[in-house]
């Protein structure tokens, strides 16, 4: 078909005019920018890329619902490339140059620690979605992942009560999260009457791939006539060779169960899970959770990513909760101004994907259910145990002498590390260790 040129240009003009007239005022307003600070290259890309996609999906869904405060949301994605100093630089870029209203991001504790001063200095908001070692509460950060009392301690309770475990191997990668978690667990186990010789602690370098010696040590340790379990804070890529070695050396979950705090659906994707059936993981969400919200979330995720085989995992749920809390807080405050939103966030409720409602606490942590799941042969987890209600996140562990008297409360005390013995706020010098 052929139109005279003029007809086309007139039609185009008309269409343009119509579009302009029909567009609501909101679209002409500046969109609200949301920063996404997850590594898309380097070692951590394996875990963090999915979170970037999850955030893009959440923002797209919110825009379909009409955006926020009548404005559209616009994601700003940067790539800190698994490089810790670069995290700080990129955070600065997001806040100063892009003027984002809030940032969702970081995975490893060291990347979080590296961006903390930036968020404090520029007074912005960070939502941190990963389970971590606790011992921190910062005014500008909202921790939507689990604190140790929402993951590690309930999991150990489960092993002690349900499996009758008396001997413990605490195996972890050598960095801040496993070291702190194991310190808390060791203190906790000893408080429960476990003898020091019944606890074996083992650290390995990042990306450790030769697990022969350690698995055989675990077997030896487990052959002492007492029920033994491994509590694993082994991180990232090191897990696949670890589980392969367990399977090959014939360590069965019925004999020596391994409960992991860093292994989720995403990590199992690279494994043949047949020999691992029965090993455990503790999280606040499993893809197999049966709730309407979860079914809808999974459907939306599959439609967004265009792949039916992609899995969902716990940090994605943390972003889901955190994002919805932020949306509600912005609506309540009527502005995206950081101070107003930080003020509005504590007490904000948002549904989680396991059928409950999480609430943001005064210490900037949230309430979550704790689930213990067993690995199934299809790479999913089957929930075998869960806490009766939601567990409030505790920033400062009660099992470490130095953090026992500390309390975080940003509503009344306006302090992240208030010492209840001396009635003094330690201030920023102590925040972030």
Partner 1 sequence: MRRIASFIACLVFLVLSGLSARAQDDEALRGAVAGFATAEGFQQIGAVIDALVVLGDPRATRVLAALGEGDLKVREADGGVFIVRGSAASVRLIDPVNGDTAGEAGGASLKKIRVNNRLRRTVRDAIGALTLTAADPAVRMRAAETLFANPDPDALEAVEAALERETNADVRRGMEVARAASLLLSDRSNAEKSEAVGAVAALGTREALGLLSQFRTGATGALELQAAAAMERIEGSLARWSIAQNFWYGLSLGSVLLLAAIGLAITFGVMGVINMAHGEMVMIGAYTTFAVQEVIRRSAPGLLDWSLPIALPLAFLAAALVGMLIERGVIRFLYGRPLETLLATWGVSLILQQAVRSIFGPSNREVSNPSWMSGAFELGQMMITWNRLYILLFAMAVFAVLLWAMNRTMLGLQMRAVTQNRRMASAMGIRAPWIDAMTFALGSGVAGIAGVALSQIDNVSPNLGQSYIIDSFLVVVFGGVGNLWGTLVGAMSLGVVNKLLEPYAGAVLGKILILVLIIFFIQKRPRGLFALRGRAVEA
- Give residues in contact with partner 1 (CB under 8 A): 40-43, 45-46, 49-50, 162-163, 174, 202-205, 207-210, 212-214, 216-217, 219-220, 223-226, 237, 240-241, 244-245, 247-250, 253-255, 257, 266-267, 269-272, 275, 277-278, 374, 376-377, 382, 384
Distance in Å, CB of 247 to partner 1, minimum: 7
Say if CB 238 and CB 264 are below 8 A apart.
no
Q: How big is the CA angle at 359 (ends 354 and 363), to the nearest 5 degrees?
A: 130
Report how far residue 156's alpha carbon sits from residue 231's, in angstroms, rounded to the nearest whole number. Answer: 8
Tokens of residue 151, six digits: 């993951």
CA dihedral 100, 105, 108, 109 (to 10 degrees): 60
Report how far residue 355's alpha carbon sits from residue 357's, in angstroms, rounded to the nearest whole number. Answer: 7
Distance in Å, CB of 375 to partner 1, minimum: 11
Closest CB to partner 1 among residues 166, 337: 166
Distance in Å, CB of 59 to partner 1, minimum: 20
The values of phi and psi at residue 397, to 5°, are -65, 140
Contacts of 28 (CB under 8 A, 6+ apart): none
Closest CB to partner 1 among residues 277, 413: 277
Closest CB to partner 1 among residues 302, 404: 302
Distance in Å, CB of 165 to partner 1, minimum: 11
Taking the CB of residue 376, how many other CB atoms lie within 10 A of it?
16
Say if CB 426 and CB 414 are below 8 A apart.
no
- How many angstroms from the chain centroid is the CA of residue 113? 15
Closest CB to partner 1 among residues 374, 409: 374
Distance in Å, CB of 229 to partner 1, minimum: 10
Closest CB to partner 1 among residues 248, 433: 248
Distance in Å, CB of 208 to partner 1, minimum: 6
Closest CB to partner 1 among residues 192, 226: 226
Tokens of residue 268, six digits: 């199992």
Distance in Å, CB of 159 to partner 1, minimum: 10
First to last CA, the chain: 71
Report how far residue 140's alpha carbon sits from residue 120's, in angstroms, rounded to the nearest whole number. Answer: 6
Closest CB to partner 1 among residues 175, 190: 175
């Amino acid at each position: 078909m052929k139109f005279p040129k003029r007809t086309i240009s007139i039609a185009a003009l008309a269409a343009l005019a119509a579009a302009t007239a029909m567009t609501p005022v909101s679209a002409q307003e500046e969109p609200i920018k949301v920063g996404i600070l997850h590594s898309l290259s380097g070692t951590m890309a394996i875990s963090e890329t999915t979170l970037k996609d999850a955030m893009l999906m959440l923002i797209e869904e919110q825009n379909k619902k009409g955006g926020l405060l009548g404005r559209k949301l616009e994601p700003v994605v940067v790539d800190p490339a698994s490089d810790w100093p670069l995290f700080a630089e990129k955070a600065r870029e997001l806040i100063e140059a892009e003027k984002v209203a809030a940032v969702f991001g970081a995975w490893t504790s060291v990347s979080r620690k590296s961006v903390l001063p930036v968020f404090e200095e520029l007074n912005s908001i960070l939502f941190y979605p990963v389970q971590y070692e606790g011992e921190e509460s910062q005014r500008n950060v909202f921790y939507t992942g689990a604190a140790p009392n929402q993951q590690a301690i309930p999991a150990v309770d489960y092993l002690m009560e349900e499996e009758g475990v008396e001997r413990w191997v605490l195996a972890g990668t050598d960095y801040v999260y496993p070291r702190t978690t194991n310190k808390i667990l060791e203190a906790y186990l000893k408080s429960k009457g476990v003898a020091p010789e019944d606890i074996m602690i083992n650290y390995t370098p990042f990306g450790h791939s030769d697990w022969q010696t350690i698995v055989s040590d675990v077997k030896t340790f487990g052959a002492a006539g007492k029920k033994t379990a491994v509590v694993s804070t082994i991180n990232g890529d090191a897990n696949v060779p670890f589980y392969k070695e367990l399977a090959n050396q014939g360590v069965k979950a019925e004999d020596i169960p391994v409960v992991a705090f860093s292994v989720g659906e995403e990590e199992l994707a690279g494994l043949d899970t047949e020999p691992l059936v029965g090993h455990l993981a503790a999280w606040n969400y499993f893809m197999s959770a049966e709730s309407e919200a979860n079914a809808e979330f999974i459907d939306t995720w599959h439609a967004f990513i265009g792949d039916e085989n992609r899995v969902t995992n716990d940090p994605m749920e943390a972003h889901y909760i955190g994002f919805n809390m932020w949306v509600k807080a912005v609506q309540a405050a009527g502005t995206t101004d950081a101070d107003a939103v930080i003020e509005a966030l504590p007490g904000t409720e948002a549904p989680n994907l396991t059928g409950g409602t999480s609430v943001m606490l005064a210490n900037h942590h949230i309430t979550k259910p704790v689930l213990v799941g067993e690995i199934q042969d299809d790479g999913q987890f089957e929930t075998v145990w869960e806490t009766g209600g939601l567990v409030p996140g505790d920033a400062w562990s009660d099992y470490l002498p130095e953090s026992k008297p500390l309390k975080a409360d940003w509503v009344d005390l306006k302090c992240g590390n208030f010492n209840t013995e001396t009635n003094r706020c330690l201030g920023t010098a102590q925040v972030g260790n």
